[in-house]
Structure 1
Amino acid sequence: MAVPTFPQAAFAQDITIEAKPSTAQLVPAEYGQTGVWAYDGMVPGTPLRLQQGERLRRVLVNRLDQPTTIHWHGIRLENAMDGAAGLTQEAVAPGGQFSYDFVAKDAGTYWYHPHRNSLEQVARGLSGPLIVEEHEAPDVDEDLTLLIQDWRLDQEAQIVADFANMHDMAHAGRIGNHLTVNGLPEFRTPAKTGQRLRLRIINAASDRILRLGAKGLTGYVVALDGMPLQKPEALTEIVLAPAQRADLFADIAAEPGETAHLTSIERQGTFSLAAFSVSGRDGTTLRPAPQSLPPNPVAVPSLKNARTLELVMEGGAMGRMAAARTADGKTRSMRELIGQGMAWAFNGVAGMPDRPLADLDLGEEVRMLLSNQTAWPHAMHLHGHHFQEVKDKTPGPLRDTILVMPQEKREIVFVADNPGKWMFHCHMLSHQAAGMMSWVNVIS
């Protein structure tokens, strides 16, 4: 499809983000460092923090040996700044650069990552946090960002470069054997009994679904995917699909001399992701339940006049898909699709289609029915918008990514109030690479 081009005038004071090869100490020091790809040579990339309504200007400089972009995940911005290679911009060639310039309309927890060859580039380390602060800071003692990455490492602690592994692509995706929080082999920070922490948790894994729990922590979930909940929910177990985020107000309940933990719940048991070493008390009494964070200015549909769309997910291992169309309009058997690196389809189409899922009028209300007819979960992400899931005719929290389990049907609604071409794809990046991509066109 044709991609618009835009003049790349340099900013008066260019602040760059360099995507480049680097090394990181992802495992204990005795195993040596790991070769990674990183923004500004850091894992995670440079933390970006700004106030709601502030303008972000950054120049991406590509020091990789392959094209790349930056997608600002969850940010409602101008279409030309979305970073979706092949749809909103041409990918930045090795040695090239691209200037991103947008206003952060919504407070919350977001992140940035490539949107060209995303599976390999994210799995090699390219991601970074993007935090947009509320105009008035909430009553917490410390604000911590915890960006979780999933690595597949060999015995020399180097990244296993099997990114085109069709077994992964047709099953649960690329699941690693090592998790880091903020790039550290062990995340540990001091704390005091009674402290209230804001924990901004980002699942930056390529494909791993996280099940998170808490030990020695109590508190509340106050926001999901950057969007405040109407009423904070008690902290129990949290499930985060790839790309999803959760903001917690977590109170340290562990006693001095003990350690509180944010935990990862795995088949093999429960493991510490982040440890909080308690060394005293902060002198306060038990904190009351927090007030809701200020809502962001996101349009909410009425549900009365919404246009209904349907998206059917098909394919994968143990699926029933016999054939699908590809971008060239030809129908190919599953064997032929596998030969082309494809294993999945949306509405019978494998790979990015030339035509959108729908042409939408600006301001049109949309009801989308999601049907997962596969044996695997999928994390569906819509660019440029936030949506609500509807259960029992009641809209739920605003999200930008929704986890749809095998053989499950879900319904989301949103207002198409951001003009342009917006991707809608599975954020299990192995599934995206193997066919789970589409887009909507919002016409101004």
Structure 2
Amino acid sequence: MPRLPGQNPISRRRAIQSLGGVVLGAGLGYAGAAAFADAGKGAKQAYPQAPAMPADARPQHISLTAKQYLRQLAAAPAAPTEILDYTDGPTILRVKQGAWLEATLTNQLHEHTTIHWHGIRVPNAMDGVPYLTQPPVMPGESFAYRFQPPDTGTFFFHPHCNTVEQLGHGLAGILIVEGDETRPHDHDLVCAYRDWRIDGAGKYQPMMTDAGASKAGTFGDHRTINDQLQPVFKVPSGGDIRVRFLNLDMSRIVDLGVIGADAWVIATDGNGLPPQKLKSWRLGPAMRADLTLRMPDAAGTRIQLVNYYAPQPIVMAELEAEGAPLAKPAFVPAPLKRGVIPEPRLEGAETFQLRLSASSTPAELPPDLVMPDGSVLRYADALCLTPKTFWALNGQPWPSQSHEVLPPPLVTFQQGKTYIIEIINQTPHIHPVHLHGHTFKVLSSNKGDVVPHFADTTLVAPKERVKIALVADSPGDWMIHCHIIEHQETGMMGIYRVA
């Protein structure tokens, strides 16, 4: 496959070993960090360890191979587009709540990668952040992720280094954890939305631009659901339909609506919610919403999934009734089962303020390094670097935009305690803020009423102050960042610690 932008043909493992204490020693700047030592002496970083799988466990084994595939994205006669995926997908995995999952990633890319299990409360060692929780999976190598999904719902997974290129070329999958329904649906439909940054011939446009990265993001023009342009899904006439909608785009905001039937929101970011009658539901990148609705009885009738975040509603997909209508009583939306996420105890909880801002000064980059073969490698892991810095958390841009040189944590939480995080947006742009490792409860906003709900990503508008709360129940160092990927990779990212 053609090399993705930013790839270096030299071996990154060899490059990292050659850097020795210069790179790895830079990670020693904060107390309690994982131990680093001089790579020239053979020492390695001590990454966190995952709990052992019980001997009597019968895991569901899944093979995921990150590689190039051809997919017909633009309409014929355009040629198929070279995309990245884990299967000849779209990749949709299903597992039962509490069952062990063993997902083995094999890397057939020309650069390293990992899998971050977005929204799933995995052990720290399984979170998939290179250099923070695991070594990067180099080309030709494999890594086995083993965990028990504790929560039901709609989740997804993606890489966490050079994300703007790898995710932008399609590298993402969906994980459905089953077991939350109090009444079964007649059809369970996954709708994964993204814009592809391709032209009419199926050729890629730039994934990142300075104008986009410093503002609202760089947008694509080819809007798809499950990699199809305005698909029509056949579903049972008169049936009860569950729509799992995922916004997998890197920058696009979606105001999700339904035309042609009444619908209710029953989950946010995979977490059950008392059914809310849908007018529209705003989803930033990485956010999800599960809907329930009753299809019309007449075969051939269509309802539309639309995006109202535009001057005119944009039809994203349609559901078409087919077959004889199912005999059903009057439709009443059924709530999902209550999750097992710990409820925050707000009385006496400490508050931590997280300020989203532009970066007044770029992160300082040390000089380039010349390798023994004469090639040049930028400081740290060049794959995880971007040359410019536009954003910061609490005034601190991610140093060198690299996972390999770890900054001190923004805050340390004590395990078992409840914390309130007040997210303050001091920028003129909206930001979807995502926490790894924990599911939080959205409490309030200074912009108006909020339906309290559990989530892993929350939108924060300009001049908005959103309060969320969590129980710090999972120890380790975890990422917190904006999920507009260009913002993440140009500074709006940090670490929070649970000790």
TM-score, normalised with respect to structure 2: 0.80
Distance 1:414 1:14, change over 3 A: closer
Aligned length: 425
1:110–1:131 CA contact under 8 A, matched in 2? yes
Does the CA contact (< 8 Å) of 2:294 and 2:331 recur in 1?
no
Distance 1:423 1:307 in 2: 20
1:4 equivalent in structure 2: 46
Contact 2:305 2:318 in 1 (8 A): yes
Shift of 1:188: 1.1
- 1:358–1:61: structure 2 CA closer, same or farther, 3 Å change rule? same
Rg comparison, structure with higher value: 2
Give the aligned residue type for 2:124: N
* Number of the residue aligned with 1:18: 65
Corresponding residue of 1:41: 88
> What letter matches 1:31 in structure 2?
A
Equivalence for 2:419:
366
Q: Which residue in the other structure is 2:331 paired with? A: 288
Corresponding position of 1:322: 360
Give the Cα separation in 1 of the matches to 2:266 and 2:355: 32
The C-alpha deviation readout for 1:180-237, integer Å capped at 9, x for no partner, is: 11122332122344221011111111111112211112121110001001x2101221
- Find the partner of 1:412 among 454, 463, 468: 468
CA deviations on 1:114-173 (whole Å, 9 max, x unpaired) are 11111111110011110000166633111111111211112321222x234211100111
SS at match of 1:116: coil
CA distance in structure 2 between the partners assigned to 1:14 and 1:50 by the alignment: 10
Q: 1:343 is matched with which residue: 386, 390, 396?
A: 390
Q: How much identity, in percent, do the aligned residues show?
A: 35
Which of 221, 224, 246 is residue 289 of structure 2 equivalent to? 246
Q: Which amino acid aligns with 2:303?
A: A
Q: Secondary structure at the match of 1:67?
A: coil
> What is the CA deviation profile of residues 361-411 of structure 1, one whole-angstrom value per residue up to 9, with x for unaligned ones?
111111111110001000000011111122289881001000001111111
Residues 298-329 of structure 1, C-alpha deviations (whole Å, 9 max, x = no match):
111111121211111111xxxxx53366588x
Q: Is the 8 A contact 2:268 2:455 kept in 1?
A: yes
Q: Superposed, which structure 2 residues align to 1:158-307 within 5 Å?
A: 158-160=203-205, 162-229=206-273, 231-253=274-296, 255-279=298-322, 281-285=324-328, 287-307=330-350
Deviation, structure 1 residue 49: 0.4
**Contact 2:181 2:337 (C-alpha < 8 Å) held by counterparts:** no
Cα distance in 2 for residues equivalent to 1:394 and 1:35: 42
- Looking at structure 2, the residues matched to 394 and 381 of structure 1 have their Cα atoms a distance apart, in angstroms, of 18
- For structure 2, the 5+ residue unaligned runs are 1-26, 28-33, 35-44, 367-384, 400-405
Q: Work out whether 1:61 is the aligned partner of 2:106.
A: yes
Q: Does 1:399 align with 2:455?
A: yes
Query: 1:400 is matched by which residue type in structure 2?
Result: D
Distance 2:217 2:277 in 1: 31
How many angstroms apart in 2 are the aligned matches of 1:85 and 1:291?
40
Equivalent position to 1:377, from 410, 419, 430 = 430
The alpha carbon displacement at 1:87 in A equals 1.2
Match of 1:134 among 159, 179, 194: 179
SS of the residue corresponding to residue 80 of structure 1 reads helix
Q: Give the 3 Å change call, closer, same or farther, for CA 342–290 of structure 1 in structure 2.
A: same
TM-score by length of 1: 0.89
**Are the aligned partners of 1:83 and 1:115 in contact in 2 as well (CA < 8 Å)?**
yes
Shift of 1:290: 2.4
Q: Which amino acid aligns with 1:322?
A: S
Q: Does the 8 Å CA contact 1:75/1:384 hold for their aligned counterparts?
A: yes
- The one-letter amino acid of 2:46's match is P
What is the CA distance between 1:21 and its match in structure 2?
1.2
